[in-house]
A and B are shown apart, each in its own frame.
Chain A
Amino acid sequence: AQKITQTQPGMFVQEKEAVTLDCTYDTSDQSYGLFWYKQPSSGEMIFLIYQGSYDEQNATEGRYSLNFQKARKSANLVISASQLGDSAMYFCAMREVVSNKLTFGGGTRVLVKP
C-alpha cells in the first residue's frame, strides 16, 4: 500500500522568498510517478510538476522545482520567488503505474506575506 506524508500542515513565507514543502512517500513499486498540485481557495486542483521514479534529473517548471531524493523517498517542492498568488493548499501525490491511481498526502497550507 502506498502512503504519502506531508509533515507541514501550514507555513508562512515572505513574498519574494523561496519555500520548500516536504513530501515523503512509501511504496514497494519500482516504477511510480510523483506529482504536486496547488489548490487555491476556489477549490480547483492545479497540476504543478511531475517527477518519474526513473528520471535522473530533478523536474523544474518555471518557479517550481522538485527535489527528488529516491533513496530517502522524498519529493520536496521548492517554490522560488514566492508571490501573493502562491497562497494556497499544496498536495503531494503518487501514482501507481499499473492502476493509474493517485494517492494524495494531507496537504500543506502556504500563506505568502507581503
Chain B
Amino acid sequence: SAVISQKPSRDICQRGTSLTIQCQVDSQVTMMFWYRQQPGQSLTLIATANQGSEATYESGFVIDKFPISRPNLTFSTLTVSNMSPEDSSIYLCSVEYRGTETQYFGPGTRLLVL
C-alpha cells in the first residue's frame, strides 16, 4: 500500500479566502483523485488529477472553484477558492497504482470555513 500525506491536516479559514491542499505519495502512481466529504455525508469525487494536463472534473465541480495541479507522478494540489461555509468538508486525495484496482486514501484535510 501507499504512504500518502496531506497538508494541512486541518484548517479554519475565513469566507472569501482560498486554501491549497497538498497530496504527496511515496512512490509513482498512475492515478490521483480528489474527493470531498461534507459533514455526515459520503465521499464525492471532485476530479481526476492528470499529470501534466488539466484535471478531469465531475459534474457539479468546476476548475475556477477547485483548481488542481499535478506536476509529477507523486504530487498534486487542490485549491478551494473563494470559500464559503458550504465548503466546510473533509477533502481527501487518493491514488491508484498501475496494475491494481484499489484506491488508497490520504489522511484527509478537515476544512472549516467561518
Q: Interface on A for B, CB 8 Å cutoff?
A: 33, 35, 37, 42-47, 50, 52, 91, 95, 97, 100-107
Tell me if B92 and A45 are in contact (CB < 8 A). Answer: yes
Tell me if B43 and A45 are in contact (CB < 8 A). Answer: yes
Tell me if A45 and B105 are in contact (CB < 8 A). Answer: yes
Tell me if B107 and A44 are in contact (CB < 8 A). Answer: yes
Interface on chain B toward A: helix, strand, loop, or mixed SS? strand
Tell me if B45 and A101 are in contact (CB < 8 A). Answer: yes
Q: Is B31 an interface residue (CB 8 A)?
A: yes
Q: Interface on B for A, CB 8 Å cutoff?
A: 1, 31, 33, 37, 41-45, 48, 90, 92, 94, 96, 101-108, 110
Tell me if A100 and B107 are in contact (CB < 8 A). Answer: no
Task: Name the B residues within 8 Å of A37 (CB-CB).
Answer: 105
Tell me if A100 and B42 are in contact (CB < 8 A). Answer: no
Q: A6: nearest residue on chain B (CB-CB)?
A: B42
Given contacts A43-B90, A45-B108, A52-B101, contact A105 B42 (CB under 8 A): yes
Bound complex: CA A97 to CA B101 (Å): 8
Tell me if B43 and A91 are in contact (CB < 8 A). Answer: yes
Q: Can you add 17 more A-B contacts, CB < 8 Å, to A44-B105, A104-B42?
A: A33-B101, A43-B37, A43-B90, A45-B43, A45-B92, A45-B108, A46-B105, A47-B1, A47-B102, A50-B102, A100-B48, A101-B48, A102-B43, A102-B94, A103-B45, A106-B42, A107-B42
Bound complex: CA A46 to CA B92 (Å): 12
Q: How far is the CB of B83 from chain A (nearest CB, A)?
A: 19
Q: How far is the CB of A44 from chain B (nearest CB, A)?
A: 5
The listed residue with most B CB atoms (<10 A of its CB), out of A52, A91, A104, A105, is: A104
Q: How far is the CB of B74 from chain A (nearest CB, A)?
A: 18
Task: Name the A residues within 8 Å of B103 (CB-CB).
Answer: 35, 47, 95, 102
Bound complex: CA A105 to CA B43 (Å): 8
Q: B4: nearest residue on chain A (CB-CB)?
A: A44
Tell me if B104 and A47 are in contact (CB < 8 A). Answer: yes
Bound complex: CA A101 to CA B33 (Å): 9
The listed residue with most B CB atoms (<10 A of its CB), out of A45, A100, A105, is: A45
